Structure formats: structure tokens, C-alpha cells
A and B are shown apart, each in its own frame.
Chain A
């Protein structure tokens, strides 16, 4: 009984190759790697010596509140009344309704839910103030605020938000016009003092522990203000300035993120409230497309059609033509 014949498939030039029957030439792979290793060493040493690397100091709550106490106080009141960007962010920080980005029914952030719970009023304002146990005025203000009905709390925070809109800075100190904002003036004023002394940085980070490496809370608080964004604007780091693919100074940054960043510059993502999810979805599809490109008709034929390969293998084709 003859063995079953294996069916030969039709030759597809975008998938198959003919076995190389031509000449072979000597090639010292280890020598090439060693020379390349030294060449790259020279290159990166030269670049490091000439261009160094950026290292702008991190922004602290202390630095922010000293540089711009008005912006700090204006941000702090939005953390207390729940209108800041973080307070209304939605998952994974809180469960603000309809805050999660979505494309139709596709709403992955909502499906995963809250995993880094943050209550901005408590975590950013009330808890830090509660640690000032030796300041009876502050503790009394806190007690008054926390025991008040929510309508009264809203009336105070609304009044303070209006007053702090006209606040001024005198010698690095916050001056807020008088108003009917009850204990909120003492609370935000004390929080500003606490921040200017450096105490708030440690309190937000420590979370009652000695060791901590999770900067989620202080970073979100700082990012809710305009100070960090103004510094970024000056360094051409804002979203419309091709955002995070850049870094401080004249450095190439993450240039390989150009395609990801580009989608944020074009409609409809440019103005969409779901831009992040839309851009990530596009990039996921494109990445999968690149991985599976050898299986995708038309796309896998582009190299053959563009004939750039004739430039790469020009010596080979020249020898073929000569033969």
C-alpha cells in the first residue's frame, strides 16, 4: 500500500519561499556582535556626555502651595465639595455614575469597578486635618463641618468656592475675602498652612504606615490643580503638544509612541469625552494587526508591491541580471 501523498499547496509569493540554492559566504556572527557592542558603547557614551539626561525636580504639595497658594486653595475646596477631576473620575477611584469611558456597550472600566478607592473630601482634606490633634480650633471646625447636614455643608463650600475665586496671595500667604463659609475657611486655610510646611506631603503618602511607595493620592491631588499643568505647558508636554511622548527639555522622549499620541490630535478623538478608550482600542487593533500581518491578505502583499526589497537585495538582483 503506497503512503498517502501529501498535497502540495499552491505557491504564494507573500507566504512561501524557494529554498536558497545559491552561494554562501563566510560570516563571523560573534565578531559582528562584539564590534556592534563596542560601537553602541561609544555611541551611548558620546550621547550621554554631550546631552546628559533630564531630571527636573518633582513637584511637591509644599512647593505647589508655596508657589501658588490660591490655586492650591481653589483645588482643595473642589476636593472637599466633590467637584474636582479626581472626585468625579469614576472607576477605578470612585463610583461616580456615567463617568467611565465607553464605546457603546463596551465599558471596561465600569466592569472592573473601583479598585483604588479615593474619597477626596475625606482623604485629601478631612483626614489630614484630623491628624493635627494639637490644634483645637481646627478640630472644632472639623467637628462642626462633619456634624452639619449636607445642605449646610454645600452652602459653606459654595460660599467658600466663590470667595476663594477672588483670593489673593500676600507674601506667600493665602488671603480669602470674608464670607458665610462657616468652618470651611479654617479648614482650607489650615490645610494650606499644613501643605506649605511640608506636612501634607507626608500625611497623604503615609496612610498610617512607615514605609510607603504608593503616590496615588498626592499625585492625584497635585494633578487636580493647575500648577503641574502650567509647568507641563511650559515644557510642551500638554496633550495637544503631543503630550506624554515628550519629556522635559529637548530630549527625544518616547518617540516610539508617536502613533498612539497622534490619534489624540485628530477628530473625533480630539474632542471626544471617550478619547482614551477610543485611542487604546485603535492601538490594540493595530497591534494585533501587526502581529498577524503575515496572515492578512493585501497587507502582506505590500512589500512585494512596493518593491523596496529590490533596494535591500540590489546586489543579489544585479548578479541575477548579470548572470
Chain B
């Protein structure tokens, strides 16, 4: 700890600045900023060029999935603003519900094609296993989100789906805390908990895609041998070996 005695002001000021710099470097905030800048440089977060091999329609389905999710959220927010009964009694509400339904159908359609595309590209290669895992998990959480939407419709479909689905969920023991016949509980899961889950995991997935980049093609068959030594270093932090 430095004490400013006055006669060594210049030296002491310099020491204080150095101490302040060291203290700042240990700050959680500063560390977080440095880690974020290191992981996501602006030209990687919002790239304006891509490798030349990215030349297939299959690459479009990732962004189509994301924008479909945006429409799911937008139409869902309108339904949430007006309340769960609005769409049964209003033609406008019914139309918004139709938009919500078809944006969900589009979301899953694009997501499944995206998933198959990534499977056939073996898109987990090159330290992208966490990217793959977050993609699969976001698909599974989305299935749960859609299911809770179906049982929250307050119509015949929701009655039938919930009374059928209860047996599967109850058989696992989850029915003790996740009661598909409880409309209030399902609605909360549908409009609060699961959308938060989807947004977090899908957001993480997109960030990982930006960080790792898109997976390169397999080596041409002539060079594709297991015996080659890769110019590989230890995997980046946060990624399993």
C-alpha cells in the first residue's frame, strides 16, 4: 500500500497508477470484458466474409430457423399481451394464433433440415462438439416449449393431448411436479420458463457458431487417412478434448 508523503509525489503517483492498473486487471468486469473481446472479436461476431466452401442451400436453414424463432416470439408476445382466451373470440386473435402456429411449424421444419445437414457435414469436427450439443439441446427444449403450447390452447386439442401425454410424463415420475393437466402451470412453462431456456441455449449455439466458424469440408479422399498427424494444439478453454 503506498502513502503519499508529498516529497515523492511523482514516484508515488506512478506507483498508485500501477496499483490501480493491477487492481483493474483483476476486476471481474475487466476480466469479463477481456474474455469477451478475446472470444468474440467484432469481425468474428459479425463477419463480412466466409470460406468459399460455404456454397450450398443447406447453409440457409440455420438462419431460417433463427428468424422463424423470432416470428414465434413476436406472435407469441401478441397473444400474451391479449391473454389466453382472446384468440377464441376474436377473428384477429385467431389470425395471430394461426401466424403463431405456422411460425412454429416453419421453425421446426427448418431446424430439422438444419440438424440433418449438420449431421451429414459432421459439423462437430474441429472442436465444435459443444456447438453440436447446444444445437441438439435447443431442439429438445423447443420440443418441450411447443408441447406446452399445445396443451395451453384451452380447446379440444389441448384437452386430448394433455390427457394422453400425462401417462408418459407420469410414468417417469415427472408428473409429481410437471402436471400437464394444470393449465396455469403449463402456460407459465410455455410463455416464461421454456422460452427463456430456448433463447439462452439457442443464443449460446449461435455464439459458438460465430466463435468456431463453420466446419470445413472433409479432406479429399486421397488425403483422408487416419494415420496423418494433425497440426492440432490443445483445444480452447471450455471445449472437451
Show the binding face of A for B, using Cβ within 8 Å: 6, 8-20, 22-30, 32-33, 36-37, 39-41, 43-45, 47-49, 51-59, 89, 91-92, 100-101, 108-109, 111-113, 115-116, 213-216, 219-220, 222-223, 228, 231-232, 237, 239, 243-244, 247-248, 251-252, 254-257, 274, 276-277, 279-280, 287, 290-295, 300, 302-304, 306, 308-309, 312-317, 320
Provide 26 A-B residue pairs closer than 8 Å at the C-beta atoms, listed in order of the A residue.
Answer: A10-B227, A10-B228, A11-B229, A13-B219, A17-B126, A20-B216, A22-B52, A25-B50, A27-B49, A55-B155, A91-B173, A92-B176, A92-B179, A100-B171, A101-B171, A108-B171, A213-B182, A228-B163, A237-B164, A239-B164, A247-B161, A276-B168, A294-B133, A300-B124, A309-B120, A313-B56
13 new A-B contacts at CB < 8 Å, known A16-B230, A219-B163? A10-B230, A13-B226, A15-B125, A51-B98, A52-B95, A108-B173, A112-B173, A244-B160, A280-B172, A294-B125, A303-B120, A303-B121, A313-B56
Chain B residue with minimal CB distance to A60? B159
Chain A residues near B124: list those with CB within 8 A.
15, 293-294, 300
B99 touches A316 (CB 8 A): no
Q: Which of A16, A115, A255, A306 contacts B125 (CB 8 A)?
A: A16
Q: Nearest chain A CB to B91's CB is how many angstroms away?
A: 10
Chain A residues near B156: list those with CB within 8 A.
56-59, 231, 248
In whole angstroms, how far apart are the Cα atoms of A317 and B55 in the complex? 11
Chain B residues near A290: list those with CB within 8 A.
136
A36 and B232 contact, Cβ closer than 8 Å, known pairs A16-B126, A55-B94, A109-B170? no
A312 touches B121 (CB 8 A): yes
Q: Nearest chain A CB to B112's CB is how many angstroms away?
A: 7
A10 touches B226 (CB 8 A): yes
A244 touches B165 (CB 8 A): yes
Q: Nearest chain A CB to B75's CB is how many angstroms away?
A: 8
A24 touches B50 (CB 8 A): yes
Q: Give the residues from 1 to 57 in chain B that come closer than 8 angstroms, CB to CB, to chain A.
A: 46-56
B164 touches A244 (CB 8 A): yes
In whole angstroms, how far apart are the Cα atoms of A22 and B51 in the complex? 7
Q: Which of A11, A219, A315 contacts B55 (CB 8 A)?
A: A315
In whole angstroms, how far apart are the Cα atoms of A294 and B172 in the complex? 27
Would you call B215 an interface residue if the criterion is a C-beta within 8 Å of the partner chain's C-beta atoms? yes
A24 touches B51 (CB 8 A): yes
B125 touches A320 (CB 8 A): no
In whole angstroms, how far apart are the Cα atoms of A24 and B52 in the complex? 5
Chain B positions 199 through 226: 1 when the CB is less than 8 Å from some CB of chain A, otherwise 0: 0000000000000000111111000101
A33 and B66 contact, Cβ closer than 8 Å, known pairs A8-B232, A58-B158, A91-B170? yes
B132 touches A214 (CB 8 A): no
Interface size, chain B (Cβ < 8 Å): 100
Would you call B67 an interface residue if the criterion is a C-beta within 8 Å of the partner chain's C-beta atoms? yes
A27 and B98 contact, Cβ closer than 8 Å, known pairs A116-B175, A248-B156? no
Q: Which of A51, A228, A300 contacts B160 (CB 8 A)?
A: A228
Q: Nearest chain B CB to A213's CB is how many angstroms away?
A: 3
Chain B residues near A252: list those with CB within 8 A.
105
A91 and B176 contact, Cβ closer than 8 Å, known pairs A33-B63, A109-B170? yes
A11 touches B217 (CB 8 A): no
Chain A residues near B219: list those with CB within 8 A.
13, 18
A17 and B215 contact, Cβ closer than 8 Å, known pairs A53-B94, A214-B182, A215-B183? yes
A216 touches B173 (CB 8 A): no
Chain B positions 148 through 162: 1 when the CB is less than 8 Å from some CB of chain A, otherwise 0: 001001111111111
A256 touches B108 (CB 8 A): yes
